[in-house]
Amino acid sequence: MGFVKRLADKRYLVKYDVVPTNGKPRQIKTKTLDGVTKQEAEAFVAERKKEVKSQRNAIATGEQIKDEVLLSDLFADFLGQKRMKKEQNTMRRYDTLVKLYLKPKFGTKKAKHLRPFHLTDAYTDWQQNGREGRDVVSAKTIRHCHELLRNILNWGVRREVLSRNVAALIDDDDLPKVVKPKPLALTEEELHRLLDEAKSPSSRSRKRGYLSAQPWFYPAVAFAAYTGARRGEVLALKWSDLDNFEWVTISRSVTERLEFKAPKNDKSRRIRVSDTLRAILKAHKVEQDKERSYFGIAYQNQDLVFAHADGSLIDPWNFGRAVLDCIKRAELPPITLHGLRDTHASLCAKAGVPLEVVSQRLGHASIGITAERYLHVYGERDADAADAFDRLVG
């Protein structure tokens, strides 16, 4: 299909078919040409028709047309394909980065027109001028955008929609530097205040049935603090994972889809249960048995240590939200539930626990990760090391 209409002197409206990229059987593009004759406008349409015919022939013969996809379409396809595989928290982050950053900046481009300088120029603009009149974009957010764009383009290459990944051509030196903040941890006194708040919920919390007022909440917060377990690992814990209340094996996690999976790094670990935590868990077991007896056959017995009154799984996001509220009520530094891992590591270091033991308890992939994250904590013990050497050598 080709259409040429004169609008004014040397000004023509043209319409022509293009190969659909939106799943529709037909797609028509309209364009206004300025400063051309009728013959030039007709030649323009004829050239477009020739390109479309070539593309259709390539598709019919099984040849792959690469790099013709609009990046906004590629973003949408990527998000749609990943939505059933990634956790909800991950997809929320992906959706936000695409909606606020990637699509406004690159969405109107075809993949074949994307160049490395488009990326670096965008990153510089975000740092200097912000996003659409807003505050400047942090180096961390820019790196997250770049990493997601690199993953999307890699996905396109694997699907043979793209011929190359432009984002892979960007050197690390061309990306803004991120200064990693020190992990925020509670002191011994602050941790006691948090546990006291979790153990004794307000009358308002009990009246409204908040998660923080439910019997499992305090033992779950205590378990997170005393073991350094991740949020999903805490909620996936089963009574069968406890060995006589003296050791616990952390071998699974629960996702925001309320599905079980292997812990991070596919790395199970067996850690010691302290005397205090052992007493908390034993008391919790007694209360949970009462709930099970009350519900009878309606109880969803999944052997979970921390569960709703009917035995059902607890949503990890809701647990994290409840801990944030508890921290706020206790008037503590604004840490997250994950900050209890940092608290556990920090207090272990203060007590003189070796770095490799802390790494094993936290379930890090390597001791190097632990050292990088908590080096400042262990650095504070350097004076103790110097004094100890003095006492030995004199």
62-108 pLDDT per residue, tens:
455 678 889 999 999 999 999 888 878 888 899 999 999 999 999 99
pLDDT score of 289:
93
Q: Determine the pLDDT at residue 239.
A: 97
Q: How many CB atoms lie within 10 A of CB 290?
A: 10
Give the length of the chain: 394
Q: List the CATH code of the domain at 188-383.
A: 1.10.443.10
- What pLDDT was estimated at residue 165? 93
Residue 20 confidence class, pLDDT cut points 50, 70, 90: low
Mean pLDDT for the stretch of residues 51-65? 66
Strand partners, 34: 11
In this structure, what token pair is assigned to residue 295?
Answer: 């519900």
CATH class for the domain made up of 71-174: mainly alpha
Domain ranges in the chain with CATH number 1.10.150.130: 71-174
User: What pLDDT does 98 receive?
Assistant: 95
Q: Which helix (H) or strand (E) holds 325?
A: helix 316-329
Which residues fall within 8 angstroms of residue 47, CB to CB, at 6 or more apart? none
The tokens for 147 are 């990493």
pLDDT score of 152: 95
Q: What is the pTM of this model?
A: 0.68
- Over residues 115-126, the pLDDT tens digits come to 999 999 999 999
Asked whether the predicted pLDDT for residue 378 surpasses 70, the reply is no
Q: What percent of the chain has pLDDT over 90?
A: 46
Q: Nearest Cα to 343, choosing from 223, 230, 185?
A: 185
| CA 51 distance to own-chain centroid | 42
Residue 21 pLDDT class (50, 70, 90 cuts): low
Distance from the Cα of residue 122 to its chain's centroid: 23
CB 37 within 8 A of CB 24: no
Confidence of residue 255 (pLDDT cuts 50, 70, 90): confident
| Residues carrying CATH 1.10.443.10, the chain | 188-383
Per-residue pLDDT at 140 exceeds 70:
yes
